[in-house]
Structure 1
Amino acid sequence: MNFGSIMTAMVTPFTESGDIDYTATRNLINHLLANGTDALVVAGTTGESPTLTNEEKVELFKFTVQTVAGRAPVIAGTGSNSTRESIDLTIQAEEAGVDGIMLVVPYYNKPCQDGLYQHFKTIAQTTTLPVMLYNIPGRSALNMLPETIIRLADVPNITSVKEASGDLDAVASIIEHTGDDFFVYTGDDSSTLPVLAIGGTGVVSVSAHIIGNEMQEMIHQFRSGNTKQAAAIHRRLLPIMKAMFAAPNPSPTKAALNLTGVPVGGVRLPMIALSDEEVASLKNVLELDDRAAVGF
């Protein structure tokens, strides 16, 4: 299943007391769908999944599905470093009505490549939903090799990968050795255009919270053959993309949303809010001293 060009890894809005803010979540969902988002990833890294209980995740899945009401695919982050726990959450996510599952490489316990294969295959076999693999060695302390991803692509409902290793050679190898029905997304916003250029499908984005329409325009120009224009947009967007990761994600993204009139609250510990100096730097990148919001 192709989930579109831009899948936004949605932040989880919180109230001042630290609970999930469902009113803000509804407003955020509608904002994203109106501003360049083709599909939503819920309870992923950007959604602060390590701080959410499984009960909170299931309620968030249900609420998002109800709010989206068929306007876009909803992808549930159900991966963990426990195969059994991931299976249980995947089953509950399917019952909640989501359209797909995203499974992160198991963190901390560092299985071998065959262990990764068995982990993902076992979870995929418990659901009828399409599964997106998620390779992010910077957070999981383990890199899933292209050979393992290519092998997993033969599992019927493993249909895509979010590749956030930053290795374009690995991305090219995956694209080259999988079929047209396997979709390769980058997990790095600044790699969106390079990955498209080597045959990738799109991006699972953080920056799309702020510049979704601009990113869609870049992709449209590239696919229309206007590569020079696409490259110019890419260069203009890079400072904002970099700003979203100037501090640990999602603190900059939540700050940017709050600054641009889309309230989402703060972050849960162990994440912390941006410092005053970091907020000032972010405002400068977003040009908020001169304009109400980003745009070109």
Structure 2
Amino acid sequence: MSIQWKGVMPAVTTKFTDSDSLDLQMFEHNITAQLEAGVHGIVLGGTLGEASTLSHDEKRILTRATVSHVDNKVPVLINIAEQSTKSAIQAAQHAEADGASALMMLPPMRYKSGDRETVTYFKTVANNTSLPIMVYNNPVDYNIEVTLDMFEELLKCDTIEAVKESTRDVSNVTRIKNRFGDRLKIMTGVDTVALESLLMGAEGWIAGLVCAFPAETVAIYELQKAGRIQEAIEIYRWFLPLLELDINPKLVQNIKLAEVATGLGTETVREPRLPLHGEERKHVLNVIENGLKTRPTLPDYKNL
């Protein structure tokens, strides 16, 4: 199905069994909760989805299972995070064959490509698939920044349509709007600056804590879109301690623990990741417990 770059799109976690295989039953349970909350798309195989540990076959299984489960209710995106251009093209073509609606795409992995190499990488993949592409711009975690000048060149490819803006600099939303208008759609990618970015003009939110709290996340988006800013702020202020679990090297473990608390997942991760323990686990559980104790009553955000 076609994609509109707007709304809340969960970067979903990948569920595993105790024997380290894909847990599609729990995965689909979470996807169902996302759909019931009113999300606008599903993003597979991102950082939060433990992309670096998934085989190509597992990514294809997840894509097909999700496309089947959502049944054209929302678009399904798969992340492209590869070490070579050849592998990225192959992954993009597999995604298209498996029914994905669009791609989220990181710069080359491991090798710190220069500006010209990064632009060539994105353009080459774009020229070998018909799927729309959202460039994942996260220099904080991946050490490569896609600058506005680089986007000037990238936007010569019609299929490069959006950016997952994860620089942590909210003013970058305004820079992008000033430079490109509506040609480059902006999906904010950092939970702790999401509302600020939406208010400055981002069209949507690739979210993390939505995996455990889908209704609250969608409510914030819909309220601010309807101009009910103060209500959105109040929920966002409650949410912030939980959202901060997303800007941490252990974000996968943190969010999976939150999913357990809300009945939407397990904390099983794929090694070398290990479940949280000791004081670190105690702290995260305390944040989650406090959030659940003070969980807000939501307005009828689906009918604003």
TM-score, scaled to structure 2:
0.90
User: Separation in 1 of the partners of 2:227 and 2:98?
Assistant: 40
* Residues in 2 aligned to 1:170 and 1:14: alpha-carbon distance in whole angstroms: 36
Q: Counterpart in 1 of 2:254? A: 252
Query: What aligned pairs does 1:147-226 form with structure 2 within 5 A after superposition?
Result: 147-226=149-228
* Distance change >3 Å, CA 237–CA 289, structure 1 → 2: closer
Aligned to 2:213, the other structure's residue is in SS state: helix
In structure 2, distance between residues paired with 1:207 and 1:214: 10
Q: 1:247 Cα shift?
A: 4.9
Q: Given that residues 245 and 252 in structure 1 are in contact (C-alpha distance below 8 angstroms), is that contact kept between their aligned partners in structure 2? A: no
- 3-state SS in 1 of match to 2:251: coil
Which stretches in structure 2 are left out of the alignment for 5+ residues? 298-304
Judging changes above 3 Å, is the alpha-carbon distance between structure 1 residues 83 and 279 closer, same or farther for their aligned structure 2 residues?
A: same
CA distance in 1, matches of 2:227, 2:267: 40
Instruction: State the partner residue of 1:139.
Output: 141
Distance 1:290 1:162, change over 3 A: closer
Which range moved further: 170-179 or 131-140? Answer: 170-179
What does residue range 49-60 of structure 1 map to in structure 2 within 5 Å? Answer: 49-60=51-62
The Cα of 1:284 is off from its aligned counterpart by 2.5
Specify the alignment match of 2:238 in structure 1: 236
Q: Which deviates further from its counterpart, 96-105 or 206-215?
A: 206-215
Letter in 2 for 1:58: R
Q: Distance in 2 between matches of 1:71 and 1:277?
A: 41
User: Map of 1:34-53 to 2, 5 A cutoff?
Assistant: 34-53=36-55
Partners of 2:137 and 2:165 within 8 A in 1:
yes
Checking the alignment, whether the CA contact within 8 Å between 1:18 and 1:268 is kept in structure 2 is yes
The Cα shift of 1:211 comes to 2.4
| Displacement of 1:295 | 4.5
In the aligned structure 2, how far is the partner of 1:21 from the partner of 1:190? Answer: 29
In structure 2, the residue matched to 1:129 is 131
CA deviation profile, 1:231-285 (whole Å, cap 9, x unmatched) = 2222121111013445522111111111221233411122221114333333332
Checking the alignment, whether the CA contact within 8 Å between 2:168 and 2:190 is kept in structure 1 is: yes
Letter of the 1:63 partner, please give it: A
CA–CA distance in 2 between the matches of 1:185 and 1:150? 18
Q: Please, what is the CA RMSD of the aligned residues?
A: 2.0
What SS class does the counterpart of residue 43 from structure 2 fall into?
strand
Determine if contact 1:149/1:174 at 8 Å carries over to the other structure: no
Give ranges in structure 1 of 5+ residues lacking alignment.
Answer: none
Aligned match of 1:266 in 259, 264, 268? 268
CA–CA distance in structure 1, aligned partners of residues 292 and 233 of structure 2: 25
The answer to whether the Cα contact below 8 Å between 1:132 and 1:161 also exists between their aligned partners in 2 is yes
User: Where in structure 2 are the equivalents of 1:3-152 lying within 5 Å?
Assistant: 3-152=5-154
Offset of residue 35 of structure 1: 2.3
What is the TM-score with the length of structure 1 in the denominator? 0.93
Structure 1 range deviating more: 12-21 or 138-147: 138-147
Does the 8 Å CA contact 1:153/1:159 hold for their aligned counterparts?
A: yes
Larger CA deviation: 106-115 vs 157-166: 106-115
| Alignment check: 8 A CA contact 1:7 1:205 kept | yes
Structure 1 letter corresponding to 2:288: L
Deviations 1:105-157 (A, max 9, x none): 22321111121111101101111111110011222222221221243123101
Counterparts of 2:182 and 2:254, CA distance in 1: 35
| Distance of 2:6 and 2:192 partners within structure 1 | 18
For 2:16, what is the secondary structure of its paired residue?
A: coil
Identity %: 28
* 1:73-95 superposed Cα distances (whole Å, 9 cap, x missing partner): 10011232311100001101100
- What amino acid does structure 1 have at the position aligned with 2:245? A
- Quick one: structure 1 residues 228 and 260, their matched pair in 2 at CA, closer, same or farther if it must change by over 3 Å? closer
In 2 relative to 1, CA 185–150 (structure 1 residues): closer, same or farther, beyond 3 Å?
farther
> Does the CA contact (< 8 Å) of 2:9 and 2:43 recur in 1?
yes
CA contact (8 A) 2:126 2:160 kept: yes
**Secondary structure of 1:287's partner?**
helix
Instruction: Tell me, in whole angstroms, the C-alpha distance in 2 between the residues paired with 1:258 and 1:232.
Output: 25
